[in-house]
Amino acid sequence: MRLVYPLLVSALLFSIGVYGVLARRNAILVLMSVELMLNAVNLNLVAFDVWLGDGLRAGQVFALYIITIAAAEIGLGLAIILLVFRNRQTSDVDALRELGEYEHDRLVEEAAEAEQAIPRQAVREQAAAQ
């Protein structure tokens, strides 16, 4: 088999992942695109390992390690996204423009004024007022 085929598939997958990271707004979709890029790298590693016939099996072993690191990354990333969602009530990457927590109360007030459809925030505000 020609070595170019896996390399072409890998390059296309990596580019699609780059597009997804740059163009998607939902943070979980950004994580999915990062997974696409990691898988492209894995395909490259396996293809070059089989091509070289390395006795140490470095490429495949590193592909396994990258799969493990991707699992750890997705766990931590989801924990961070859930924390951000708990604090800001959104997982929209474009809406996260402030680093400080002091904007949180203003955002909650605005959301509660804008729509009554989120009863939890109204309950929280009442609890905070009492």
Which residues in the 16-35 window bind another protein by CB under 8 A? 16-20, 22-26, 28-29, 31-33, 35
For the CB of residue 45, give the shortest distance to another protein in the complex, in Å: 9
DSSP for 95-126 reads G-----STHHHHHHHHHHHH-S--HHHHHHHH
For the CB of residue 40, give the shortest distance to another protein in the complex, in Å: 9
Both tokens of 46, joined, read 């396996």
Classify residue 3 by its DSSP letter.
Answer: T
Asked if 8 touches another protein (CB under 8 A), the answer is yes
Q: Is 5 exposed, middle or buried (0-12, 13-18, 19+ CB in 10 A)?
A: exposed
Among 97, 99, 101, 115, contact with another protein (rule: CB under 8 A): 101
User: Quick check: helix, strand or coil at residue 86?
Assistant: helix
Q: Which is nearer to another protein, 76 or 99 (CB)?
A: 76
Q: Which of residues 39-78 bind another protein (CB under 8 A)?
A: 39, 42-43, 46-47, 49-51, 53, 56-58, 60-61, 63-65, 67-76, 78
The answer to whether residues 31 and 78 touch, using CB atoms and an 8 Å cutoff, is yes
Among 98, 104, 106, 110, contact with another protein (rule: CB under 8 A): 104
Both tokens of 4, joined, read 């170019």
Both tokens of 125, joined, read 């505000």
For the CB of residue 18, give the shortest distance to another protein in the complex, in Å: 5
Q: Which of residues 105-124 bind another protein (CB under 8 A)?
A: 108, 123-124
